[in-house]
A and B are shown apart, each in its own frame.
Chain A
Amino acid sequence: EPEVTQTPSHQVTQMGQEVILRCVPISNHLYFYWYRQILGQKVEFLVSFYNNEISEKSEIFDDQFSVERPDGSNFTLKIRSTKLEDSAMYFCASRNRPGSDEQFFGPGTRLTVL
């Protein structure tokens, strides 16, 4: 069964450093998303991506964040200068069509900012 994959599974970084989280969505899906989940809290939407551009972003997704689809398979989330409060689980998700199809989540990357 096709699945969303993410790397690394755990990333530890120093405050102020840049991190890149990687995702490989399901191959025939067209819509890609990043979510984050702070420990013990709900899943929060960060950004959606379609047709090689951002289609929607939340207030959390400020100038420190960027997304890219550098090739036909990878979808990346970059945090330019990490803060302590960026520590969270980051989930990538993909979907074939919004509004009617299920959204599949990847296993997540646990980001720890020291």
Chain B
Amino acid sequence: QQPVQSPQAVILREGEDAVINCSSSKALYSVHWYRQKHGEAPVFLMILLKGGEQKGHEKISASFNEKKQQSSLYLTASQLSYSGTYFCGTEMAGGSYIPTFGRGTSLIVHP
């Protein structure tokens, strides 16, 4: 069952913040976040495994609320290089550990 991402698109100016959400109707074991630029492969950002876990990578961080079956990706002080489509991939608890991807959130950062 594919996760639901929101919003579908975000338009920002450099330096602004954004939050992208990913939710599932099934119990989750992990959530992956990827960024994909047009015509390129998805690039792994981070994986979150435990309920309530939060991870960060420079100005990009994410949280995973296992009980709510939700994850959020936080982009702080966005840069032009953050533009792209962000996908979450979810692995089901007790499942086959194969990420199922959402439809993606398009992020456009303007100067």
Binding site for B on A (CB under 8 A): 33, 41-45, 48, 55-56, 91, 98-108
Contacts and interface: CB of A to CB of B under 8 A. Distances in A.
B44 A104 contact: yes
Contact of A42 (B32, B44, B87, B97): B87
Interface of A is mostly: loop
Contacts of B40: 107-108
A27 to B, nearest CB: 18
Contact of B41 (A45, A56, A106): A106
Interface string B71-111: 00000000000000001010100001111111110000000
Contacts of A33: 98
Contacts of A103: 32, 44, 89, 99
Contacts of A45: 98-101
Contacts of B91: 98-99
Interface residues of B, number: 25
Nearest to A6: B41
Given A45-B99, A104-B44, A105-B44, 14 more contacts: A43-B89, A45-B98, A45-B101, A55-B96, A56-B96, A56-B98, A91-B41, A91-B42, A98-B91, A98-B98, A102-B46, A102-B47, A106-B41, A107-B41
Scoring A91, A103, A105, A106 by chain B CB atoms within 10 A of each residue's CB, the highest score goes to A103
B2 interface: yes
A101 B89 CA distance: 13
B60 interface: no
